[in-house]
Amino acid sequence: MDPADPVLLAERIADAAEGRTAAGLLAVASVREELRERPGRRPCFTPDALAELHRMLVAADPNIPGPGGLRRTPARVTWPDGQRFAIAVAPGRALHGHVERWCRWAVRTASPALDAAAFGMLRLFTVHPFPDGNGRTARLLAQCDLVGAGLVPGLLLDVEGWVDAHRAEHDEAVVAGAEGDWERWGALFARVVTETARQRAATVTAYGNLLDAELDVVAGDPAAAEVLRHFRSGPAVSAEWLRGRTAHAPGPALARLREARILVAHPRLADALVHPGLLALLDAPYERQGSPGEGVSGAARAGNPDGPRPCRVTGRRRPGRGRRGPRCGRTSGSGDSCRPRATPPPRGSGACPSTAPR
């Protein structure tokens, strides 16, 4: 098959996205298992486990060549506006040592949970342990930290969407944190958690309202209503999965729901059925506060049949070119490379000195 075929490329991207989801769920399961085995100890991924998680996250991604794992070459980061940053940590033993220290600090830190998640995420950014996919890995691990601390019940926050919508602000805060401005990075991380949690709460509310409206439509059909109630715990159903979970035979009820176009075939899972409106809610991208819609999330509008539906292709904002980079004032002779200096965290921050970017 032609690798440039757009249909094939779309399939590969979808497979990669499903792989990232599976890797994220496995990471959360690992955190919960470690909490059960070692209650009271903050879970952390060892260097080997971190490398394996990265391999799973980038597997099948057509945009990331190679098998994944810790990088074996020096790293440089290029921003969309052309600025380039050299990563000071060399590959090999030095990189492995930095990741080991990151893990030891993560287990032993007494920092508040939100601070620890923010510091751990920034530390991975500055070490840049992988050839590519460092951002998605660090953001996943930050969510795992929040799950481990009991602040969120699962991978609910659309951190990737928030970063896409605030790319310049995010990247400049990363550089500021690497240069010792922990407060700026910590404040931005707290915003990420707060705003994505608010967006997810709006999604949950809209999802419940839409499902309740559909249940009112089928109120005279107990078997169909019983099928729809299962959408409270999952985004799709099938006759096989429902068998044994409902008091009625699922086949006839599913047929009536399909005939009424309340349920339709799942776009990728054979024999599975979804509610198109509920699926649109779950697929709706994060929308930046203050964007058109006056702060109403894409999820909330997706659940409103009278409001505009989000574009499933271009709804998520992408960073524009020509944005300003960090004003660090230190460049190499070529004027395009910046190495963050070693800066200890501020006193009283609760951060271990081993996490200072160097």
Tracing tokens 């729809």 back to the chain, one arrives at 228
- pLDDT lower than 70: segments of the chain: 1-4, 9, 289-358
pLDDT in tens, 37-51: 988 888 888 889 999
SS3 content of the chain, % helix, strand, coil (to 5): 50, 5, 45
What b-and-e string marks burial along 222-236, b requiring 16 or more CB atoms within 10 Å of the CB? ebbbbbbeebeeeeb
Q: pLDDT > 90: what percent of the chain?
A: 46
| Beta-carbon contacts of residue 184 (< 8 Å; ≥ 6 apart) | 173, 176, 177
pLDDT at position 264: 96
CA dihedral of 120, 123, 128, 132, whole degrees rounded to 10: 30
| Structure confidence at residue 308 (pLDDT) | 36
Token pair belonging to 27: 């990471």
What local confidence, expressed as pLDDT, does residue 290 receive? Answer: 57
Which pLDDT does position 317 carry in this prediction? 34
Q: Are 72 and 96 in contact (CB under 8 A)?
A: no
Return left, alpha or beta for 51; rule: phi > 0 is left, psi -120 to 50 is alpha, else beta: alpha
Q: Is residue 284 a contact partner of residue 132, using CB atoms and an 8 Å limit? A: no
Angle at 173 between CA 171 and CA 175, to 5 degrees: 75
Which pLDDT score, from 0 to 100, does residue 346 have? 36
Closest alpha carbon to 178 in 12, 11, 339, 16: 339
Using one digit for the tens of pLDDT, what is the confidence trace for 68-112? 889 999 998 887 778 888 888 999 999 999 999 999 998 889 899
pTM of the model: 0.73
Which domains can be identified in the chain, with CATH numbers?
Answer: 16-196+327-355 (1.10.3290.10), 197-302 (no CATH)
Q: How far apart are the first and last CA of the chain?
A: 46
